[in-house]
Structure formats: C-alpha cells, structure tokens
Chain A
Amino acid sequence: MARVYSVFARPLIQGDKRLAQVTEDVCRPMERRPGPWWWAAFTASSALLLLGMSAITYQIATGVGTWGLNTTVGWAFDITNFVFWIGIGHAGTLISAILYLFRQRWRTSVNRSAEAMTLFAVMCAGLFPVIHMGRPWLAYWIFPYPNTRGSLWINFRSPLAWDAFAISTYFIISALFWYVGLIPDLATIRDRGKPGFRQRLAALFSLGWDGSYRTWNRYEMAYLLLAGLATPLVVSVHTIVSWDFAVAVIPGWHATIFPPYFVAGAIFSGLAMVLTLMIIARKTMGLEDYITVRHIERLCKLIIATGGMVGLAYLTEFFMAQYSGNRYEQFVFLNRAMGPFAWAYWTMVSCNVLAPQLLWFRKIRTNLAVVFLLSLLINVGMWFERFVIIVTSLHRDYLPSSWAGYSPTVIEVATLLGSFGLFFTMFLLFCRVLPVIAMGEVKGVLSYGRKHGEGHP
C-alpha cells in the first residue's frame, strides 16, 4: 500500500540508489581484498587478543591470587569488565529489536552491525564470570541438572545463577535473531554468482530461500516474534546484572532504582560503542550514503535520552542517600565524591553526565570527529561507572579496621585489553565475511521520503 509522507520526510538513504546498487555497495567491501588499514587494525587487535589469552592462561594456571583483590575488595576488575561488556551489547538489541517494534525505519542501516556487536560483546562479557569462578573447568556446575555430586544444586535464590540463565538465553535469542535477519542477505550473496567458498556457505545457510511472497511473509512473522522475545530479554539481562549488587545490603549497592538505571546505562554505553564502530566503518567501507550523518544524529539523540536517565539516577541515588538519614549510605556517597577514588567518580561524572550535554547542539552532532571523541569518552565513563559502583562500595565497609584499597595487577589489565582484542578481532572478521548492512531491509526503505517517480527504487 502506498504510504503518505509529510513534507519533512527526507530519504533515509542518500544518493538515489537503485536496488542493484545497494547489493553492489554492501557486497563490494567484503568481496575485494582487505586494505592496509584493515590489516593494521586486525594485527593490532589480534595481538591484544593474544596478550589476553596469555594472561588468562597464566591466571587460570596460577589462580585468582594473580589479581589485586583482597578480603575487603572481593569484586573489582573482573566484574567491572563483565558489566561493561554486557552493557555494550544492549544497544544492539535496542536498535535491532526495540526500534523495530517502534517502526523506526532508519534502524535498517545500522541494525546488522549493531547486533553483531551485541554478540561479540556478550562473548567478551561471558569470559569474566567464568574466569572469576576460579575453577573454570567446573563452570558447567552453574546449570541445574540432577547430578552425582551428592545431588548438589545451585542456589536458585542467587542472582548470580539467574545471570547465567538470562545471559545464555539472551545470547541464544540474539544469535537466532541475527541469523534470521541474515537469511535473505545470504541468499543474495548466493545468487550473485561469484563461485567460491563464500557462495557455497551462503547457499547452505540461506536455507533454500526462494524470495517468494510466502517466504517473505513467514520471515517477517518470525522476525517480529523474535524481536518481541528479544525485547524483554534484553531488559531482563541488565536488570539481573543490577540485582547482583542490589539484593545485597551493602550501602551503595542496595538501591531499588538499580534495575531501570542499569538498563538505561547499558543502552547508553552500547550506543556510544555503536557510534565508535559506525563512524569508522562508514568511512573505511565507503558506506556514507547508508549510514548518513542523520543516522549519527539520531544515535546521538538516543544518547542524550539514555544519558539523561543515567544522570537522573545518579542524582536520585545521591539525594536519597541524604534523605534516607542512613549514615552508611551517606558515607558511601560522600566517600565516592571525596574519598580515595574521587578521581574515578569525577571521571565518571564528567564523561557520562557532562560530556554528552554537548550533543544537544546540532553543530556538534554533525561534526563526526567530535562525536567520535565523545563516544570514546562515554565508553570510558561507563567503564568507570561500574568500577565506582563496585569498588567504592566495598573498599570502606562498616568496620574501619578492615578498610582497604585496590589497584589492578598487570594480569588484570592484560585481560581487559585482551577482551577488547577479542571484540575488535571478531568485528573485523565480521566486516570481511558478512554484509554489514541488512540489504534486504535497506531495499525496503529506499523509497521512503522520495517523491513518486524520482529515482528508480
């Protein structure tokens, strides 16, 4: 059915593309040989990955004593990294599932890569709790099943166990959702008739896609249902991550606002990572007509919205600590702002609350260099947010004689760097082997905002 657009509607995709051109533009970068920049990036990130793998091997062989933890600060770098990475993943699901349910058609240019980012971020996140267990070879004990270990069951009341369920379900559904969305594009690669290994694989995984009306109809239904499933899942994941802290009675951890606050923060950090990746990818892969400055602007507006929610949560926590009259709560928040970790706290506030305010200005939103810089700052700020929540709440507890400090060891830093290596290595490989833009979906929005008869979509 013909759609009617307002006078403000402008095409989502620039350059008056034809359908065939879309396929050509998206497939070209992955069909040509990788350039020197790709090799440089790949070398750097796989070197980091290698570093991380060595560090992980060493700490598993030696034990978690290689970390800087002590009896007071029992959680620090590992859990910070876990929450950071799981949060990064959330923006992918926001773009691919939630914006789909909201009928935001501009999402088609970024949803594929954002969702790939989700999968890689969840992989990085999963790494940390497994190492944190101390005996990762027994990690399967987290799954409840009748067993011969004296019938040893997990503690079902522990959010740590819920984490395992939520994250594994989330990963499975995200992977399925991503794969279902890929099927029409895999069929396109198959049909491009460039014989080789890629085409044979695409033929296998496109599941005999024939592009008929009925196939599309079923595909759309499956896609909608998976989007509907992924939406509550993504909220549940970071909600449960927040419960890891909030169910405790530790001042600074126990706050009822944690669930929505963590979900907003997760999406906020993930959107920043999407911007970091997209600003580079559109340039190096020549996709400026698809991921336009207006796409970047919209992502920036989402950052203002989610960043605003995070800022409000900071304020609420601080206010409520004073209002509650609970001296321990009051101490924790003053200690955050003025104690030994004040530098981390103020890094967090400047990067997460102050810096994003620049995005209110269109001049800044359309200046990609500045947006790129801001996206990096937000990533840093959101990492520090988790560090502040975890470490500052623990390091000075009820008993001043047990107060302690914390600083990460080389091994911990190397593990964090290794997780970045894993993330970027996966993303670089993804850019080489799969279409980074959902061709089938972009073709559906080509006509948006174009006057009738203009262009030939």
Chain B
Amino acid sequence: MNQELHFTPSPRTRLLLRLLAGVGVLSLLAGAALAPERAWGSLFMASYALVCLGLSGTFFIALTYACGASWAVALRRIPEAMSAVMPFGAVGVAAVLLFRPSLYPWTHEAAAHELSGFKAAWLNWPFFLARAAVYFAVWLLFTRLIVRTSRAQDRDGDPAHTFRNTKLSVAFLPLFAVTFSMASVDWIMSLEPEWYSTIFGVYTFSGLFSSGLAVIILLAIWMRRTGPLRDFVTEEHLHDLGKLLFAFATFWMYIWFSQYMLIWYANMTEETVHFIARQRSFWLPLLVLNVILNWGIPFLALLPKFTKRTPSTLAKVAAVVIAGRWLDLYMMVQPTVTAGAITFPWIELGVMAGAGALVVVVFLRAFRQAPETPVRDPYLTESLHYHN
C-alpha cells in the first residue's frame, strides 16, 4: 500500500500536464493583451467549472452518505480528492467578481437596464460579493468537515465517523440546493440582467452533476488502470457509475428541454432574448451540438450493458460529456461576453485546458494524502463485494 501512496503519473502524462498548463497560462496572458473581455470571461468560465467540479465531488459523497449507499465507498477517495479543486476555482471566481465586475452589465449600466425595486436591491455589488462569500464559506466548510471525518476513520475505524458524516451530509444537501440555486442566478443569470427563468438553478445543477460523474468515471478508470485502485474499483462500480451518468445526462436533457420548450412556446420577449442570442447564425449548430454531446451520445452509447462495463468505452463517453460541459458553459457565458459575436474560441479552450491540468495536479496531490480507499469504513467490505 505504501508504494501506491507514492503514486506518480507516467513521464508522458507529466509532460502532457505541463503542456496543458503552459497552454492555459499562455492563452490567458495572450488573451489579456489581445482581448481582455474574453480573457476575463474565460477565466470566469474555467473558475466556475472548477468550483462546480469540486462541488460535484462533495455532492456525490454527501448523496451516498445520505442514502446509506454502500456501493460507492470503495471509490470515495476520488470525489474526496476532486473536491480539493474547489478553493482554486473560488479564487478565480473571486478575482473576476472583485476585479472585473464590468463582466456584469448591471454593475455599470444600471440605468440602461432599468433595474428597480427588488432587483436593484438584489443586484447590488457589495451585497453580491457578500453572498458569494457566504456560498463559498458553506461549501468549503462542509467539504472540509466531511473529508476530514472520512479520513479520521482511516485511523481509528470508529463507525461513529460514518454517522457523523451522514448527519453532515444531510445538513449539507438542502444548504447546497439553496446556495447553488442562488449562485447560479447571481453569477450566470445576471450576466443578462433582463432575463429570468425559474428552472435555471436546476439546469446548472444538472450540468454540474452529470459532468462531475463523467470526471469521477475518468479518474476512477485512470486510477484503476495505473494501479492505486486496481484492487478496489471493479466493473460493478463502473457499471453503476455508467448508469448514473446515463440517468443524469438524461436529466440534463429533460431540464434543458423543459426550459427551451416553455420559453419557445410562450414566446415572451423578456424570456426569448436568452435563446435568440444563442441560435443566431453560428450559435445554432453549437446549440444542437450541445444537446448531442451532453445527451445524444451518452444516451445512445450507455443504453446497452456492455458499454458501461467496458472501461475504454465508458471513458470515451465520459470524455464526450466533459467536452459537452465546456460547450454548455460556453453557451451560457460567451454570448454575454462578446455581445453575440462569434469568434474561434482559442482563449476559452486554452484556459479551460489549463484548468484541466490544474484539476489533475490538485486531484493527485489530494489523492496521495490519504489511503487510496477508505480502509476502515464499515461499508467497505460490502462495497468491495458489490454485485449489480
């Protein structure tokens, strides 16, 4: 086990990570010089993606504790280590909110957007920042408490840690639901101050969780192939993760369609503005591609049983969903950054590639800090012998 603790990626992987990190930094710097609006926008997208990824790790752990789901215990260290990327995303989001508030039109063109009454009070910069601080405090605090309790169990094997974490998880889930819905409105919906849609929080959550599952799947397959989880993560676990990805990709589609169809059907100006900006000219093929990547491909590919149990196939589908996640975020944010103009997204892709490298590095560092599986979790044997 000790040898596994010192797991380091292969030289080729390390080179790739350095390359990606370099691409990220260069894109950000070049973007800052050439198109500062887009550089800030892409920094926001990447940071938001990291925050969501970290949150999806915490959410996955909390959900399994709350449900008493034993099957996922063997691979719990993966979402635990994933949640370590949240602070890095938080720094990025904070940087954007503090130093580039002009990303949000209501901060500088309040008069043009006729903000009045409740909205004017809600979209108010100091209050906006204070809310963001509260969200981060809740998310980081619970993540830290849950991960720490899980690791404390490695030392003494006391089942009381399981009960404590169940309580923490059950408290976290409703708090997460409320804070994340509010954060979605604050950070993304208010990019278009006139637009509103009540389902939006559910929509961003569906993207958060289906892409989070895709990342868990990729990391689980990687850690299984390269060693640390070879004896812990079985095809049965991958099968279940695949089923969840299938379900939540479909959930994403359900929410996407509900939002689109109802706005299309009612055809009210204040609502359609969002989709009109996203299906003009070259945006239309992207809108269609978004649906194909996030739902079409995973739905068709994961319908049969064997694809969920074949690591190489499952990994490819997960990669498609992650690409879809990037596009989904791009569709949410970019039209507001470039006022609808479409350009080849080299800055946005480059910065996200750098963020990807950061995820892997932070994940590996966090993963190495504890045994690769919760060795003394009372549910571990049940998880290792899990059979679909």
B378 contacts A248, C-beta separation under 8 Å: no
**A259 within 8 Å of B (CB atoms):** yes
A5-B382 contact, Cβ under 8 Å, with A247-B265, A256-B197, A323-B122: yes
Give the chain B neighbours of A71 by CB distance below 8 A.
none
A325-B119 contact, Cβ under 8 Å, with A246-B262, A247-B265: yes
B258 contacts A323, C-beta separation under 8 Å: no
Give the chain B neighbours of A243 by CB distance below 8 A.
261-262
**B199 within 8 Å of A (CB atoms):** yes
Which among B15-23, B81-89, B177-185, B277-285 touches the partner chain? B177-185
A4 contacts B382, C-beta separation under 8 Å: yes
A320–B117 alpha-carbon span in the complex (Å): 13
A256 contacts B199, C-beta separation under 8 Å: yes
**B94 within 8 Å of A (CB atoms):** no
A9-B382 contact, Cβ under 8 Å, with A323-B122, A326-B270: yes
A234 smallest CB distance to B (angstroms):
12
A320 contacts B268, C-beta separation under 8 Å: no
**B126 within 8 Å of A (CB atoms):** no
**B263 within 8 Å of A (CB atoms):** yes
Give the chain B neighbours of A232 by CB distance below 8 A.
250
CB within 8 Å of A: which B18-58 residues: none
A105 smallest CB distance to B (angstroms):
12
The interface bits of chain A over 201-220 (1 if a CB of B lies within 8 angstroms of the residue's CB, else 0) are: 00000000000000000000
B266 contacts A316, C-beta separation under 8 Å: no
B381 contacts A257, C-beta separation under 8 Å: no
Query: Chain A, interface size: which category?
Result: 35 or more
B387 contacts A258, C-beta separation under 8 Å: no
A239 contacts B385, C-beta separation under 8 Å: no
B229 smallest CB distance to A (angstroms):
19
Give the chain B neighbours of A256 by CB distance below 8 A.
197-200, 258-259, 262-263
B379 contacts A259, C-beta separation under 8 Å: no
Give the chain B neighbours of A320 by CB distance below 8 A.
196-198
**B174 within 8 Å of A (CB atoms):** yes
Give the chain B neighbours of A247 by CB distance below 8 A.
262, 265-266
Give the chain B neighbours of A316 by CB distance below 8 A.
181, 198, 201
B202 contacts A257, C-beta separation under 8 Å: yes
Instruction: Tell me whether chain A's interface is mostly helix, strand or loop, or mixed.
Output: helix
Give the chain A neighbours of B159 by CB distance below 8 A.
7-8
**A119 within 8 Å of B (CB atoms):** no
The interface bits of chain A over 244-257 (1 if a CB of B lies within 8 angstroms of the residue's CB, else 0) are: 00111100001111
Q: Which of A103, A309, A315, A322 contacts B118 (CB 8 A)?
A: A322
**A397 within 8 Å of B (CB atoms):** no
Give the chain B neighbours of A5 by CB distance below 8 A.
382
A260 contacts B266, C-beta separation under 8 Å: no
A232–B303 alpha-carbon span in the complex (Å): 14
A207–B268 alpha-carbon span in the complex (Å): 55
Give the chain A neighbours of B119 by CB distance below 8 A.
322-325
Give the chain A neighbours of B261 by CB distance below 8 A.
243
B378 contacts A255, C-beta separation under 8 Å: no
Give the chain B neighbours of A309 by CB distance below 8 A.
177
Count chain B residues whose beta carbon lies closer than 8 angstroms to a beta carbon of A. 43
The interface bits of chain A over 297-314 (1 if a CB of B lies within 8 angstroms of the residue's CB, else 0) are: 000000000001100110
A254 contacts B118, C-beta separation under 8 Å: no
The interface bits of chain B over 54-84 (1 if a CB of A lies within 8 angstroms of the residue's CB, else 0) are: 0000000000000010100000000000000
A325–B262 alpha-carbon span in the complex (Å): 19
A345–B379 alpha-carbon span in the complex (Å): 44
A260–B206 alpha-carbon span in the complex (Å): 12
CB within 8 Å of B: which A246-280 residues: 246-249, 254-260
B116 contacts A259, C-beta separation under 8 Å: no
A308–B174 alpha-carbon span in the complex (Å): 7
A243–B262 alpha-carbon span in the complex (Å): 8
Give the chain A neighbours of B201 by CB distance below 8 A.
316
A245 smallest CB distance to B (angstroms):
10
B197 contacts A312, C-beta separation under 8 Å: no
A227–B259 alpha-carbon span in the complex (Å): 27
CB within 8 Å of A: which B339-388 residues: 378-379, 381-382, 384-385, 387-388
B373 smallest CB distance to A (angstroms):
15
Give the chain A neighbours of B263 by CB distance below 8 A.
256
A260-B265 contact, Cβ under 8 Å, with A3-B387, A6-B70, A316-B198: no
**A16 within 8 Å of B (CB atoms):** no
Interface, chain A (partner B; CB < 8 A): 1, 3-9, 101, 103, 232, 235, 239, 243, 246-249, 254-260, 308-309, 312-313, 315-317, 319-320, 322-326, 330
Interface, chain B (partner A; CB < 8 A): 68, 70, 114-119, 122, 159, 174, 177-178, 181, 185, 196-202, 243, 250, 254-255, 258-259, 261-263, 265-266, 268, 270, 378-379, 381-382, 384-385, 387-388
Nearest first, the 3 A-B pairs at minimum CB distance are A257-B198, A4-B385, A256-B199
| 26 residue pairs bridging A and B, Cβ less than 8 Å apart | A4-B381, A6-B379, A6-B381, A7-B159, A8-B159, A8-B379, A9-B382, A103-B388, A239-B254, A243-B262, A246-B262, A246-B266, A256-B263, A258-B262, A259-B254, A259-B262, A260-B202, A260-B254, A260-B255, A312-B178, A315-B178, A316-B181, A316-B198, A322-B119, A323-B185, A324-B270
